[in-house]
Chains A and B, each alone.
Chain A
Amino acid sequence: MKQRALWSAALVVGLVTMAGCGSATGSGNSSGGSADKLVVWDWKSGEASAAQYLDKAKADFAKKHPDVTVEFVAQPFDQYYTLLGAAIQAGKGPDVMLFNGGGQIRDRVDALVPLDEYVAEDKQRLAGWDAFTSDGKTYAGPVTLQGHPIYYNKALYAKAGLDPATPATTWSKFLADCTAIARAGAKCFALGNKEGVGIQFWLSALGSGILTAQEYDDWIAGKRDWNSPNVKRVFALWKEAGEAGLNNDGANSTAMFNDSFAIFQSGKAAHIIGLMSDVGHWKDFNEFLTPENLGVMSAPVVTEGTTPSLAYDGGIGYAVAKWTKDPKIAADLVRSLTSTDALKAFYADAGAVAADTTIDVSQGGAAVAGIVSELKGGKPALHVALSSKTIDLMGRLSQQLLSGSITVDEVVKQLAASDQAG
């Protein structure tokens, strides 16, 4: 018994002396790479739909640097950032790597080279730079754009006696259309909020019709007034839409990926706030609904005087690691990976809205043409500006709003507290 007590005491003493030493993530510095070979990490190069894109990019790069070989290493996406973090710490990372725009790249700019001097020529041709910019410096060349257009099913519009060519431009007209659609036996919105993602799409897709231009820009700049009546309106409309039965039944137990998309594709709901690239987008919907029956509409105006705009950001982009031997060569590879020819192949095969706004998309159907025409006036998505903690909280609160167990005032109060805490 005495010995056991002694051991416990030793353990406690050990713990106390050790407590708070070291760190949970570690902090390594890195160096590596090779002069005549560039290693690229991504999660796309293994897919058949990206083969053409990579061939075009490699050919473009070979013209500029015939003596440098390029190796693409496809990593599984669900472990991508874990592997990348480990590589960054070990100092044996790739020379060029793919990133999601926003927080994922901003968290890791310490390991990246600013590309501004190398990509100056591309600034006009490509869109979506903001998502790869931190403190005024650009860290990646955008490949695709990601955003939240409102898609609608023209066949259901016709069935409900509405004109498929002129979707509603105001909220009241939109609600009236939804009533007609309900009479035709379909729901207004296909909504999957099991993961709490639905509210993010809602906020970003409808925000430009609810917040004033000033409020919108302030929001993106980090000056968010959660007590503004328009911000409350975003959440009030979400609640009202749920109560009015505009969404499919059981939205809180329907997965956004991909059950809600399936609801829209099967014609059970007339609208969906979807994506521009990768999944849940025009190419997927075209397959089921045919390009003729798929439309894209602007956000209905809720607050008078607002001008709705498309919410989008840079989707994915290639960045250059700090430890690469010659950043100029690596930056040239990034430029090849974002060249017009390569991106054209990516748009056509993978079904993404490429960052290159000069690509002709008229063959892809009315929906994608509509999206691309809106890019010029588009703005960054509202939810992307929030921290992952606030987004997680917003997801749970949105579920409570749908089930009616919380008030809008309480929601904005909690979100404001989380947002201000960082």
Chain B
Amino acid sequence: MPIGNTQPSVRPALAGRTGGPAVDPAARRRPARRAGSGGGLRAERLAPYILVAPAVLIIVLLRLYPLLLGVNFSFTGDGTRNGTAVGIDNYRELLTDPLFRTALGNVGWLVLLLPVAVAIPGLLATFIYLRVPGHRVYRSVYFFPAVLSPVIVGAIFNLLLAFDGPVNAVLGAVGVPPTDWLGNPDIAMFVVVGVHVWATFGMSLVVFLAGFATLDSALLDAARVDGASLPQVIRHVIIPGLSRTIQFVFVTTMIGMLTSMFGLLYVMTSGGPEGSTYLPEYYIWIQQGQMNRPALASAASTVLFVIMLVVGLLQIQLLRRAGKES
């Protein structure tokens, strides 16, 4: 039983690890070599590969292979050119398609709006932490939208924001002229992002509250004794104390915005008006499902993948730097 053989050899290594980072990695490896002598050596060498094989196979077969297939398809044609290599024609078409450019531009807007999407739950969590009157009620009320599906949220806001809907009626009552919230190409994207933030900030709020739990209250008390105002407390005590939490929320909010707006867009605007609320995901879906252009959709997917890769790597970089600082 080769795996049984390896067990004792692993233990000293583990013990070495618990001993602290001072242990030399080479020294850690040595006892393992000694124990696994003869026929056991081969098995021992193979063991790690066998053990990681299930995970690697799943990743390779269900993630990497489809990814490569998709990239591959993006270099083939659609319709009558189905199955023939067309080089970078699809990418050239994407670049010249104003709709795809709008979709990419909207991704830019999402990145710009990210600080707002993070600040709102952060600020509200601060108020709850500082125990504003009724903070217990707010804590549960704020979380409530997070359990609703995007389709339901979209349907609710479709009714609220309709031209003859309640929001315009209330504004009309105080003398504000009605706005076509979802029909005006200049504001529709911001309305949808606003609804998305409303629907998802509950989760970030919980993360912030968890972060507050680790905050040293003595610092807050000290600041108060020194006569710091609320903005000063936030600026000099809370934000530095929560820097890792804030970074985590940044990353998760960005991912949420880029990957889970489809439901809302589908229900609220269908990419309109005038194509102003297209996001790459929605574009891919339209090309694949409505226009019967799977190869072009593959090209758009590849572009989206590269964008996500760059954003993801940047964020990992950021987190790593933050980790070193703390």
Contacts and interface: CB of A to CB of B under 8 A. Distances in A.
A259 B164 CA distance: 12
B232 interface: no
A395 B270 CA distance: 12
A249 B172 CA distance: 14
Contacts of A388: 290-292
Contacts of B69: 22
Interface in A148-193: none
B216 interface: no
B76 A22 contact: yes
A24 interface: yes
Could you say which of A22, A25, A82, A388 has the most chain B C-beta atoms within 10 Å of its C-beta? Answer: A25
B274 A400 contact: yes
Contacts of B184: 252, 403
A22 B183 contact: no
B183 A250 contact: yes
A196 interface: yes
Could you say which of A196, A253, A259 has the most chain B C-beta atoms within 10 Å of its C-beta? Answer: A253
Contacts of B78: 24-25
Contact of B72 (A22, A395, A400): A22
Interface string A193-216: 011100000000000000000000
Nearest to A414: B98
A389 interface: yes
Interface in B69-83: 69, 71-73, 75-76, 78, 82-83
Interface residues of B, number: 42
Nearest to A263: B164
A204 B150 CA distance: 35
B183 A251 contact: yes
B262 interface: no
B295 interface: yes
Contacts, number: 112
Contacts of A23: 73, 76, 82-84, 295
Nearest to B288: A24
Given A250-B180, A400-B274, A403-B274, A24 B291 contact: no
Contacts of A253: 161-163, 180-183, 188, 269, 273
Interface string A359-396: 00000000000000000000000000000110010011
Contacts of A399: 183, 185, 272-274
Contacts of A196: 272
Interface string A124-144: 000000000000000000000
A19 to B, nearest CB: 4
Contacts of B82: 23-25, 27
Contacts of A250: 162-164, 180, 183
Interface string A13-33: 011001111111101000000
A396 B183 contact: no
B72 A20 contact: yes
B90 to A, nearest CB: 10
A195 B266 CA distance: 10
A194 B68 contact: no
Contacts of B68: 14-15, 18
Contacts of B73: 22-24
- A interface, size bucket: 20 to 34
B204 interface: no
B164 A249 contact: yes
B162 A19 contact: no
Contacts of B286: 392
Interface string B170-200: 0000000010111111001000000000000
A84 to B, nearest CB: 13
B263 interface: no
Nearest to B72: A18
B87 interface: yes
A343 B292 CA distance: 32
Interface in A10-56: 14-15, 18-25, 27
B318 interface: no
Contacts of B292: 107, 388
Contacts of A18: 68, 72
B272 A396 contact: yes
Could you say which of A18, A23, A388, A400 has the most chain B C-beta atoms within 10 Å of its C-beta? Answer: A23
A194 B291 CA distance: 18
B298 A24 contact: yes
A389 B85 CA distance: 22
A99 B4 CA distance: 63
A403 B183 CA distance: 9
A25 B185 contact: no
Contacts of B76: 20-24
A3 interface: no
A384 to B, nearest CB: 16
B17 to A, nearest CB: 24
Could you say which of B76, B181, B286 has the most chain A C-beta atoms within 10 Å of its C-beta? Answer: B76
B82 to A, nearest CB: 5
Interface in A69-119: 82, 107
A27 B83 contact: yes
B71 to A, nearest CB: 6
A194 B184 CA distance: 11
Interface in B235-279: 269-270, 272-275
Could you say which of B69, B183, B295 has the most chain A C-beta atoms within 10 Å of its C-beta? Answer: B183
B73 to A, nearest CB: 4
Interface in B267-326: 269-270, 272-275, 286, 289-292, 294-295, 297-298
A405 interface: yes
A399 to B, nearest CB: 5
A242 to B, nearest CB: 12
Interface in A276-317: none
Interface in B108-123: none
A357 interface: no
A204 B183 CA distance: 24
A69 to B, nearest CB: 34
B273 A20 contact: no
A299 to B, nearest CB: 27
A260 to B, nearest CB: 12
Contacts of B289: 82
Sort A-B residue pairs by CB-CB distance and give the 6 closest, nearest first: A250-B163, A20-B85, A253-B183, A23-B83, A252-B183, A24-B294
Given A19-B85, A253-B273, 13 more contacts: A19-B72, A20-B85, A23-B76, A250-B164, A250-B180, A250-B183, A251-B183, A253-B161, A253-B183, A388-B291, A395-B272, A399-B183, A399-B274
18 contacts: A15-B68, A15-B72, A18-B72, A19-B75, A20-B87, A22-B69, A24-B73, A24-B82, A194-B182, A249-B164, A252-B180, A252-B184, A252-B272, A252-B274, A253-B161, A254-B163, A259-B162, A396-B99
